[in-house]
């Protein structure tokens, strides 16, 4: 298969016709969108055979070449692939609308806020919002919940871990995990490993050396594949940005060297993420992985100084809001 054909094949979305045709083969195998169902349809869903999928990202600056919702585009794509795989296994996938909320943007690490394109919420708000949502999902009778997450910031991941643990420890027959390569059951996907290896083979030694971790080769490549019209062509001239530059005026908001990105690398890396997520969900549905045990208290030493400063900023914000509410006598 040449590169063009590969890209076309990987980009092709799952059509409604394909789902309907598949539904005819496997009864009950379907993808429902939570926003579209009425009360009667909700009543009819077989809870025991349903998997809830929540695509999650955050509007966060991704430098001058990528859109603020880069994490969301990736999370939604993975969520759609997971939903299709769930349906293929004879389960119903109940897809929630994309939640564009998260905490801990990259520009906050050097304490630089506001930054164009970053719209975060406090970590405690983020955790409470998700705990409320999954409590409602559980009370509606659903027991398997997977979050397709695109935002790998440490505080965001810590809060997500806590929400999963809350769900898993509160509902004995519940299983909640985060997919998308950051968290979730440890499941090896040989296919994903092969795709990652293939993608790595396309990187020059310089590109390998200059991988940075935010809006870099990985995310730029995936967006060149997924939403090429949203990638500013300036990425082809993008200079390397390092962690050491984050305090300087010359820092552009990304880490790494996006100029090495290609759509072909993106296609392979995104497919690898999907394969991993699908393998994780299938392993849970097959009962092949144990439910995670209780989580320990957060160790203060596990949070670095920049992220402690972000938490302190969160507390300041909360104080300001609460003072205003109290002053106005609002309930
Ligand atoms: Zn990102």
The model's pLDDT over 190-212, given as tens digits with 9 standing for 90+, comes to: 999 999 999 999 999 999 999 88
pLDDT for 62-79, tens place per residue? 999 999 999 999 999 999
Say how many Å lie between the CA of residue 150 and the centre of ligand 1.
6
Say how many Å lie between the CA of residue 26 and the centre of ligand 1.
36
Q: Residue 249, Cβ neighbours under 10 Å: how many?
A: 5
Cα–Cα distance measured from residue 21 to residue 152, given in angstroms and rounded to the nearest whole number: 36
- pTM, two decimals, is 0.90
Q: What is the residue-averaged pLDDT of the chain?
A: 92
Using pLDDT thresholds of 50, 70 and 90, give the confidence band for residue 5.
low
Cα–Cα distance measured from residue 4 to residue 193, given in angstroms and rounded to the nearest whole number: 22
Say how many Å lie between the CA of residue 67 and the centre of ligand 1.
10
Concatenated DSSP letters for 78-133? HHHHHHHHHHHTTPEEEEPPPB---S--GGGTTT--S-TT-B---HHHHHHHHHHH
Here the tokens at position 154 are 């440490």
Per domain, the residue ranges of the chain are: 3-328
Task: Tell me what the mean pLDDT of segment 312-317 comes to.
Answer: 97
Q: Residue 37, Cβ neighbours under 10 Å: how many?
A: 14
Cα–Cα distance measured from residue 39 to residue 296, given in angstroms and rounded to the nearest whole number: 39
- CATH no., domain 3-328: 3.40.50.10310
Is 109's pLDDT higher than 50?
A: yes
Task: Tell me what the mean pLDDT of segment 145-158 comes to.
Answer: 96
Task: Tell me what the mean pLDDT of segment 96-109 comes to.
Answer: 97
Task: Tell me what the mean pLDDT of segment 83-98 comes to.
Answer: 97
Say how many Å lie between the CA of residue 28 and the centre of ligand 1.
35
Say how many Å lie between the CA of residue 219 and the centre of ligand 1.
6
Is 304's pLDDT higher than 50?
A: yes
Of 13-17, 111-115, 208-212, 276-280, minimum mean pLDDT range: 13-17
Query: What sections of the chain are H helices per DSSP?
Result: 3-11, 16-25, 39-44, 70-88, 123-139, 154-170, 190-201, 205-209, 217-226, 263-285, 305-328
- Residues with beta carbon < 5 A to ion ligand 1? 70-71
Is 26's pLDDT higher than 60?
A: no
Say how many Å lie between the CA of residue 39 and the centre of ligand 1.
36
Give yes or no for a contact between 47 and 91, defined as CB atoms under 8 angstroms apart.
no
Cα–Cα distance measured from residue 62 to residue 118, given in angstroms and rounded to the nearest whole number: 9
Say how many Å lie between the CA of residue 38 and the centre of ligand 1.
34
């Amino acid at each position: 298969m040449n590169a063009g054909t590969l890209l076309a094949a990987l980009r092709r979305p799952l059509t409604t016709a394909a789902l309907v045709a598949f539904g005819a083969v496997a009864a009950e195998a379907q993808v429902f969108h939570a926003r579209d169902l009425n009360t009667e349809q909700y009543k009819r869903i077989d809870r025991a055979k349903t998997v809830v999928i929540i695509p999650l990202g955050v509007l966060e600056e991704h430098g001058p070449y990528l859109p603020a919702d880069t994490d969301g585009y990736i999370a939604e794509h993975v969520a759609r692939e997971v939903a299709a795989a769930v349906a293929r296994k004879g389960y119903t996938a109940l897809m929630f609308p994309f939640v564009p909320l998260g905490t801990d943007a990259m520009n906050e690490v050097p304490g630089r806020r506001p930054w164009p394109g970053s719209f975060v919420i406090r970590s405690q708000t983020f955790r409470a919002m998700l705990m409320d949502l999954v409590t409602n999902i559980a009370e509606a009778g659903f027991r398997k919940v997977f979050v397709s997450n695109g935002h790998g910031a440490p505080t965001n991941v810590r809060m997500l871990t806590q929400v999963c643990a809350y769900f898993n420890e509160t509902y004995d027959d519940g299983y909640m995990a985060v997919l998308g390569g950051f968290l979730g059951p440890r499941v090896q996907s040989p296919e994903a490993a092969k795709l990652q290896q293939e993608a790595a083979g396309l990187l020059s030694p310089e590109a390998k050396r200059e991988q940075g971790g935010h809006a870099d080769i990985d995310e730029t490549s995936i967006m060149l594949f997924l939403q090429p019209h949203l990638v500013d062509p300036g990425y082809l001239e993008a200079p390397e940005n390092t962690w050491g530059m984050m305090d300087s005026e010359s820092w552009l908001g990304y880490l790494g060297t996006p100029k090495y990105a290609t759509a072909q690398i993106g296609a392979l890396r995104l497919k690898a993420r999907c394969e991993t997520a699908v393998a994780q969900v299938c392993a849970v549905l097959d009962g092949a992985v144990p439910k995670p045990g209780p989580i320990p208290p957060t160790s203060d030493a596990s949070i670095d100084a920049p992220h402690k400063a972000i938490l302190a900023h969160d507390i300041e914000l909360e104080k300001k809001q609460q003072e205003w509410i109290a002053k106005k006598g609002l309930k």
